[in-house]
Structure 1
Amino acid sequence: MRRLDELHLEHPVYGSRRLRELLRREGLVVNRKRVSRLLQIMGIEAIYPRPFSSRPQAGHRICAYLLEGLEITGPNQVWCADITYVPLACGYMYLVAVMDWWSRYVLGWELSNSQEAEFCVRAWEASLELGHGVPLISNTDQGSQFTSEAFLDAVESAGTEVSMDGRGRCLDNRFIERLWRSVKYEDIYLQDYGDGLAAGRGLARWFAEYNNQRPHQALNYATPAQYYLDPDGHGARPAVWA
């Protein structure tokens, strides 16, 4: 599963057929059905438009994508959230993160051994508890965690509008997709964590360094914390959405 995760990061537009062929070239004989099943377990899908992309899961509410053409000019205008698969030496877990779109600042994150919505709600509530503001818009994909009533209630009760990507369109949430690539290649794959406790400790260190020490070219080589906590000093304009 780890190699499949690595291949998806390298080739995000590849579906199960192409990923199966890449695995076969490496001597890993596996059929497409198994690749599809593993991708489903890992919560991974290829990045490309699909027919009926707005079709919701049964009983779940789907919201429109609100960021098309929107100029994001400051912190707390848009927060985005996403889930990724975390391979461990013995098993795997899931990681959710909540990020401020403008500054790339990671406000909250949680690890879980299941894909239930509760750990996403905890990450959202922890982000609000930082006390730095409430976003105008929350943008996520259409995964069952983010279309659940528990998560939507948590977002809307804060007075935040809900925006959702089209299915299979991970580039709509591109900044957090870049975060996953960074955390996996710079930490998760290198550390090869043995269990969730070790992963949690290591990721806490990595996210602290990412927020407070890592310079970003897109932020004029400032850190996400510098942009998020001192927006006026970094060219922010009032966040307006109507």
Structure 2
Amino acid sequence: VNHKRVLRLMRDKNLLCRARKAFKATTNSSHSLKKYPNLIEDLVPYRTDQLWHADITYIRIATSFVYLAALIDGFSRKVVGYGLGRTLSADLALAALLDAISKRNIGSLIHHSDQGIQYCSQDYVKVLKDNGIAISMSGKANPYDNAKIESFFRTLKVEEVYMFEYETYEEVLKRIPYFIEEVYNRKRLHSSLSC
């Protein structure tokens, strides 16, 4: 039997696995803007809206990328705010932050991110300070502090993104909000919460 026939039969029966895509960096921490200390090294959140994790990832479409900036609650693991855009910019991260602030009742809150230029930008830091939100950042090249949001991005990609081949920006704008709001936040059980 020819290998092409086997490949075609496997494809027809949906037995092929997806190859892992090439990595695309979304963080530029080589900048002169102020970086903040890590405030969460030993913190174990005990309530919602005590700690938010922020980060950005990319979603491949046919000819380019769509970027997703998201914030998740460190206690509930739910996405509290997000933004989708065609460019990797401070405005995208700021849109996600403003989305989260508009939906939540924030009191004593820590915002944790990497040292990316989006999170150190003057506009972003001003919104955090104006809302009384403490700023915390991981050390350079230390993704483990933000493992909760990295875990969310992995779930998003495995359960949604890698299952579909998005062709257009509009497809992403339709599918990703549905996955976040209806699947991840409402239906998905989070093992760390003993759900």
Residue of 176, 186, 190 corresponding to 2:149:
176
Match for 1:148: what amino acid? S
CA distance in 1, matches of 2:124, 2:89: 10
Match for 1:168: what amino acid? A
Match of 1:214 in 2: 188
Match of 2:15 in 1: none
Deviation at 1:153, TM superposition (A): 0.7
* Alignment size in residue pairs: 175
Match of 1:188 in 2: 161
Instruction: Report if aligned partners of 1:110, 1:122 keep a CA contact under 8 Å in 2.
Output: yes
Percent identity over paired residues: 27
Match for 2:190: what amino acid? H
Match for 1:43: what amino acid? T
**Structure-2 change in CA distance of 1:71 and 1:151 (3 Å):** same
Match of 2:110 in 1: 137
Deviation at 1:175, TM superposition (A): 0.4
Instruction: Report if aligned partners of 1:56, 1:62 keep a CA contact under 8 Å in 2.
Output: no
State yes or no: 1:79 paired with 2:29.
Answer: no
Other structure's SS at 1:182 match: helix
Deviation at 1:44, TM superposition (A): 6.1
Match for 1:127: what amino acid? A
Deviation at 1:71, TM superposition (A): 2.7
Instruction: Report if aligned partners of 2:27, 2:116 keep a CA contact under 8 Å in 1.
Output: no
CA distance in 2, matches of 1:136, 1:203: 26
Alignment TM-score, normalising by the size of structure 2? 0.84
**Structure-2 change in CA distance of 1:77 and 1:107 (3 Å):** same
CA distance in 2, matches of 1:162, 1:133: 14
CA distance in 2, matches of 1:74, 1:135: 11
**Structure 1 spans left out of the alignment, 5+ residues:** 6-38, 46-54, 222-242
Alignment TM-score, normalising by the size of structure 1? 0.68
Match of 1:52 in 2: none
**Structure 2 spans left out of the alignment, 5+ residues:** 1-19
CA distance in 1, matches of 2:175, 2:138: 30
RMSD, matched Cα: 1.7
Other structure's SS at 1:83 match: strand
**Structure-2 change in CA distance of 1:114 and 1:156 (3 Å):** same
1:14-52 per-residue CA deviation (whole Å, 9 max, x = no partner) reads: xxxxxxxxxxxxxxxxxxxxxxxxx4xx4269xxxxxxx
